[in-house]
Chains A and B, each alone.
Chain A
C-alpha cells in the first residue's frame, strides 16, 4: 500500500479529533439530545453503508430493511444464549450471506428491475421470518432485555461508523474501488476492459449489507421488543435512500450532509407541527429536490468550482481526484 499523502493525513487527524469530540456527547446529555444523536448516528451509518454500494454503481437498493431486520432478529433470537459481540458478528455474516445470495441472483439485473427486486426482498424476508415463527415458535414478538442504555448504543454506532468510513476509504483506494467507478460511469466499458463486473458488484453489496445488518443488531436492545413490522419496517429503506441522495453519493462523507440536517429538520417539524408532519415534510422534500438537485455535497462542489474558476486550483484538484 502506498504511503498516506499529507492531505490524507490531515483528513485522518481531523476525523479522529471529530470522532473523539462526538464520542463525548453522552457525557453532556443523556436525555433528548443523546437520543437525537443516536438517531443521527443510526442513519449516518445506514446511509454511508448504503452509499458504499449504491454510490459508485448507481443501483438504488431498497433492501436496507431486510438486512437491518436480519441483524435485529439475530440479536432477538440469540440474546439469551450468546454474548452480544458474538451476535454482532453473526448478524454481519447472516446479512452478508443474504446480500451475497441476492447479489448473485439479481445484480445482473439493472435499473428499475433491481429496485423492485430489493423492495420485494425486505417483504419476502419479513414474511419468511413471520412464517417460521408462526409455525415453529409461540408468538412473533421477541424480547431483548439488556443493561445497555442509549449511550452504549451511541458509542457502538459511532465505532461502527468509524469502521464503515475506514472500509469505504480502503475500498476507494483499492482496485475494487477503481473498478466500481468505471462500472458506475459505463458498465459496458468496464466489461470490455476486462473487469468482472458481477463479482465486483456482489462483493460491494455484501460489504454494504453486512454493515447494515450489524446496525440492526446494535439497535435491537433499544427496541426491547422485536417484531417483524418494526424490524423490517420499509420506511427505513426509503428514508435511507432519501437522506443519502439529499446528502449526495459521490463522496464517502456526503451522506452525512444529508443525515444531520434532515434528521434535525424532521425532528423540528414533527415536534412543532405534530398534526401536519407529513404535509410539511413533503413540502420540505420538494423544496430540497428543486433547489438542491445534486444534494448538499453537489452544492458544496458547485460553490468550490465557482471559487476555483478565479484560480486554476480547481482543475489541478480535479486531476488529483
Chain B
C-alpha cells in the first residue's frame, strides 16, 4: 500500500513536471522559489525585511484557499534557499529553482548587487522579476534591459533630494539654521546618496560645515561625532549602513549632540532601532518610511507579528509584501501561470496593495517613501515622491 502511494506520488510529480513545463494548466499547487541571505553580511537585514513578509504572504494566500488561476484556487508552495550573501550562490540557486525545481515563479533576491547579478538569468528563463530591496539610480536603464523586471523601492537620488527638500522646509519654517554636517559610509548606497545629497544641499543654500566619509565596518564613531559637534551645525546627516546607523546614534546620544535635525540611513526604519535607542530615538530621521498610521499598515504589522513572530520594518517590509500582492493579482488577472502573460498583466494592471494603489510606469513605481521619522515609538513617513499621507517632521529635542 505504502509503496503504491509512493509510486502514485512519483507518477504525479512526473506528470506535474510535464504539465508545468508545457503551457501552464491550473492544477495542484503553484511552486514559488525564493533565494536570499540566511547567513552572511546581509542576513540580518533579510531576516527583518525579506523572509517574514514572504512567510506571511504564503500563509495569507493559503489560508484564503490559494490563488485564483482561471477560476481554480491553487495553493502556494514555497521553496527557500540561502545564498549566503554571495553572488555565486545566488546565481546557482536561481538556476536550481528554474531548471531543477522548475518553479512557477521566483521571488527575486535581497540586496541591490545580488538582484542585478541574477537579473540576466531570471530574464533568460522568462520569470517576472519584481525587485524590492534594490535602490539604485539605474532603474530605467534596467527596466529597458530586462523588460521582465520591475522596480519598486526608488532611486538613490530621490532619497537624497527629498531629504534636502524636507530640511529646506524646516529651515524656511525657522526650525533649523543652514549649517549642516554630512557624513557617509564609503560604500555603494552611502556614496550614491552623498553624491546626490551634497550638491542638492548647496543648491538649497545650506552651508556644509563638516563632511567626511568612513569605511564600512567602522566601529568607533566618537571622532566623527565630536568633530561634527565642534562644527556646531543644526543638522546632522549620515548616509549610513545598518552597523554605523546604530553606532553613530549611540555615540550622538552619549555626546549629547545638540542638533535639531538628525538623519541616519539604512536600518533606522527597523523596529530594533527604537528598541536599541529607547527615548533617544525620538525625532530621529532615517531612510525609508511608510504611512504608519494607515489601517493597512497597522493590520499588516499586527498579522506579521502574529504569524511570524517578528515585527516588520517601516520601509521595505510592506513593499516586499505588496510586491507579492502584485504577483498574486497579476496571476489572477492573467488567468494562467504562463510567465509572459503574467508579466504583461504586471505591466498593464493596477494593483490594490497594502502600500495603496500601484501601477507600474514603464516597469517602475514612481511614488515611494524616502524619509521617515521616529515619533513616539512609530516611524512615520515624512517625505516621499508623492505618495501622500506624509506626517509633519518634528524638531529633535535632546537625547533622553
- A binding-site residues for B, Cβ under 8 Å: 29, 31-36, 39, 42, 127, 130-131, 133-134, 138-141, 143, 145, 149-150, 222-225, 227-230, 233, 235, 267, 270-271, 274-275, 277-278
Q: Per a CB cutoff under 8 Å, which of A35, A225, A229 touches B91? A: A35
- Complex CA gap A271/B116 in Å reads 22
Q: List 17 A-B contacts (CB under 8 A).
A: A39-B88, A134-B186, A138-B192, A139-B188, A139-B191, A141-B112, A222-B87, A222-B91, A224-B117, A227-B113, A227-B187, A235-B84, A274-B81, A274-B82, A275-B82, A277-B38, A277-B82
1/0 per position for B99-123, CB-CB distance to A under 8 A? 1100000000000110011011000
B86 touches A233 (CB 8 A): yes
A222 touches B80 (CB 8 A): no
A34 touches B113 (CB 8 A): no
Q: Is B136 an interface residue (CB 8 A)?
A: yes
Dominant secondary structure at the B interface: helix
Count chain B CB atoms within 10 A of each CB in A36, A143, A235, A270 and give the residue with the most. A270
Given contacts A31-B99, A223-B117, A225-B116, contact A141 B39 (CB under 8 A): no
- Complex CA gap A42/B96 in Å reads 18
- Cβ–Cβ < 8 Å partners of A31 in chain B: 95-96, 98-100
Count chain A CB atoms within 10 A of each CB in B40, B81, B93, B95 and give the residue with the most. B95
1/0 per position for B139-176, CB-CB distance to A under 8 A? 00000010000000000000000000000000000000
**Given A127-B215, A270-B82, 20 more contacts at CB 8 Å?**
A31-B99, A31-B100, A32-B95, A33-B99, A35-B92, A130-B186, A140-B191, A150-B91, A222-B87, A222-B88, A223-B113, A225-B112, A228-B187, A229-B113, A229-B187, A229-B216, A230-B117, A271-B81, A271-B93, A277-B82
A270 touches B89 (CB 8 A): yes
Q: Per a CB cutoff under 8 Å, which of A140, A143, A233 touches B138? A: A143
Q: Nearest chain B CB to A199's CB is how many angstroms away? A: 35
- Cβ–Cβ < 8 Å partners of A225 in chain B: 112-113, 116-117
Q: Which B-chain residue is minimally distant from A272 (CB atoms)?
A: B81
Q: Nearest chain A CB to B185's CB is how many angstroms away? A: 10
Q: Nearest chain B CB to A211's CB is how many angstroms away? A: 18
- Cβ–Cβ < 8 Å partners of A141 in chain B: 112-113, 136, 188
- B binding-site residues for A, Cβ under 8 Å: 38-41, 80-82, 84, 86-89, 91-93, 95-96, 98-100, 112-113, 116-117, 119-120, 124, 136-138, 145, 186-188, 191-192, 195, 213, 215-216
Q: Nearest chain B CB to A218's CB is how many angstroms away? A: 13
Q: Nearest chain B CB to A64's CB is how many angstroms away? A: 14
- Complex CA gap A42/B136 in Å reads 29
- Cβ–Cβ < 8 Å partners of A140 in chain B: 186-188, 191-192
Q: Which A-chain residue is minimally distant from B101 (CB atoms)?
A: A32
5 nearest interchain CB pairs?
A31-B99, A225-B116, A35-B95, A32-B95, A32-B96
Q: Nearest chain A CB to B90's CB is how many angstroms away? A: 10
A139 touches B195 (CB 8 A): yes
B113 touches A134 (CB 8 A): no
- Complex CA gap A277/B82 in Å reads 8
- Cβ–Cβ < 8 Å partners of B136 in chain A: 141
Q: Nearest chain B CB to A292's CB is how many angstroms away? A: 24
A227 touches B39 (CB 8 A): no
- Cβ–Cβ < 8 Å partners of A278 in chain B: 39
A34 touches B95 (CB 8 A): yes
Q: Nearest chain A CB to B204's CB is how many angstroms away? A: 20
B92 touches A32 (CB 8 A): yes
B117 touches A222 (CB 8 A): yes
B187 touches A32 (CB 8 A): no
- Complex CA gap A32/B95 in Å reads 4
- Complex CA gap A228/B217 in Å reads 13
Given contacts A274-B81, A277-B82, A277-B84, contact A224 B119 (CB under 8 A): yes
Q: Nearest chain A CB to B229's CB is how many angstroms away? A: 24
Q: Per a CB cutoff under 8 Å, which of B86, B98, B120, B124 touches A235? A: B86
- Complex CA gap A134/B216 in Å reads 13
- Complex CA gap A29/B96 in Å reads 12
Q: Nearest chain B CB to A179's CB is how many angstroms away? A: 36
- Cβ–Cβ < 8 Å partners of B188 in chain A: 139-141, 227, 229
- Cβ–Cβ < 8 Å partners of A150 in chain B: 91, 95
- Cβ–Cβ < 8 Å partners of B88 in chain A: 39, 42, 222
- Complex CA gap A258/B187 in Å reads 34
A277 touches B39 (CB 8 A): yes
- Complex CA gap A34/B92 in Å reads 9
- Cβ–Cβ < 8 Å partners of A149 in chain B: 124
Q: Nearest chain A CB to B64's CB is how many angstroms away? A: 26
- Cβ–Cβ < 8 Å partners of B84 in chain A: 235, 270, 277
Q: Nearest chain A CB to B8's CB is how many angstroms away? A: 24
Q: Nearest chain A CB to B68's CB is how many angstroms away? A: 29
- Complex CA gap A277/B38 in Å reads 9
- Cβ–Cβ < 8 Å partners of A275 in chain B: 38, 80, 82
A32 touches B86 (CB 8 A): no
B145 touches A145 (CB 8 A): yes
Q: Which B-chain residue is minimally distant from A39 (CB atoms)?
A: B88
- Complex CA gap A150/B213 in Å reads 37
- Cβ–Cβ < 8 Å partners of B99 in chain A: 29, 31-33
Q: Which B-chain residue is minimally distant from A274 (CB atoms)?
A: B82
- Cβ–Cβ < 8 Å partners of A36 in chain B: 92, 95
A230 touches B92 (CB 8 A): no
A133 touches B191 (CB 8 A): yes
